[in-house]
Structure 1
Amino acid sequence: MIEVKRTTSDNADFKRLTNLFDAYLVEIDGDEKDFFAQYNQIYIKNVIVLYENDYALGCGAFKGYENEVAELKRMFVLPESRGKGIASKIVDSLESWMKEEGFSKCILETSRYLEPAVALYKKLGFTIIPNYGPYKNVSSSICMQKMLTS
């Protein structure tokens, strides 16, 4: 049975999963890893960890970006758990929480090299937008958005 746990970035399982994610991103981002690290090593109060039999399979988080816009952060699913709908469940759970918090739009940044992630976000209703904020001139980034409806 899959359990969805709301927590914060202080959660030990979230830290473990995001450390694995960061190690994976070093391979993807290469020389840009330090640039991205500054936006990932932050305290986040809205974190979800998905468990199966008390074992953390994946995580995701969001933070307020501006006004009614939330930014999706730190999405990661263990490689052996991919393809089982875990990422979709994380995004769905985060979107519900965003709506509870009064957000009407979700934005995100991901690497253009993470093609499965880009495909998943498109499948979940996200559309590509011009790169925002710190990602404006980062050619390896793809930014996306989704309007949150009730």
Structure 2
Amino acid sequence: MQISFETADQPDVHELIAELDAHLYSLYPAENVYALDVSSLAQPNVLFAVARDAGGAPLGCAGIVIGPEYGEVKRMYVRPVARGQGVGRKLLAALETSARAKGCTTLMLETGPTLVEALALYERLGYKYRGPFGDYPADPLSVFMAKALT
């Protein structure tokens, strides 16, 4: 498996994001899905990583939007066939290293309470539960976490 920083505006990455969207919208009402579209992922303050298998097929993706006060993990997704193989862990490690190199000292994220595997991964990687941040409202369908990169 290879992790590389790429643009999200590629047909095979569009498929990953469409799979993620379908999954999220099957679990949560639209007003509780805080997704970035492909054009938002192409902004200069966004780090976007893709995990690919040996043949180049995408296994997963994730991004970090770097703001003035913190970076926010967005669009984290690993295809079901690749889960349990360390793809998510390696994506986040690459993104955290790059965010740290750009001077980012804290990462935040919002996810859903039914995404048990994702929550377990974030906990294992040192993310701590916290309250809402930014423009997110307090909501029972949102879980907020943060990690210091220092």
**TM-score between both structures, scaled by the size of structure 2:** 0.89
Q: Which of 53, 57, 60 matches 1:58?
A: 60
**TM-score between both structures, scaled by the size of structure 1:** 0.89
Q: Say which structure is richer in strand.
A: 1
Q: CA–CA distance in 2 between the matches of 1:61 and 1:18?
A: 11
The sequence identity of aligned pairs, in percent, is 29
Is the Cα–Cα contact under 8 Å of residues 63 and 70 in structure 1 kept in the other structure?
Answer: yes
3-state DSSP of counterpart to 2:138 = coil
Q: CA–CA distance in 2 between the matches of 1:72 and 1:141?
A: 14
Q: Say which structure is richer in helix.
A: 1
Q: CA–CA distance in 2 between the matches of 1:92 and 1:124?
A: 9
- Paired position in structure 1 for 2:30: 33
Instruction: Show structure 1 runs of 5+ residues with no match.
Output: none
Q: CA–CA distance in 1 between the matches of 2:129 and 2:32?
A: 22
Q: Give the letter for the 1:8 counterpart.
A: T
Q: CA–CA distance in 1 between the matches of 2:148 and 2:90?
A: 17
Please state how far the C-alpha of 1:35 moved relative to its aligned partner: 4.5
Instruction: Show structure 2 runs of 5+ residues with no match.
Output: none
Structure 1 residue ranges (4+ consecutive) displaced by more than 6 angstroms after TM superposition? none
Is residue 2:130 matched to residue 1:129?
Answer: yes
Q: CA–CA distance in 2 between the matches of 1:115 and 1:131?
A: 19
Aligned-pair Cα RMSD in Å: 1.5
Residues 125-150 of structure 1, C-alpha deviations (whole Å, 9 max, x = no match): 0000002233322211000000003x
Is the Cα–Cα contact under 8 Å of residues 58 and 87 in structure 1 kept in the other structure?
Answer: yes
- Paired position in structure 2 for 1:92: 93
Is the Cα–Cα contact under 8 Å of residues 24 and 33 in structure 2 kept in the other structure?
Answer: no
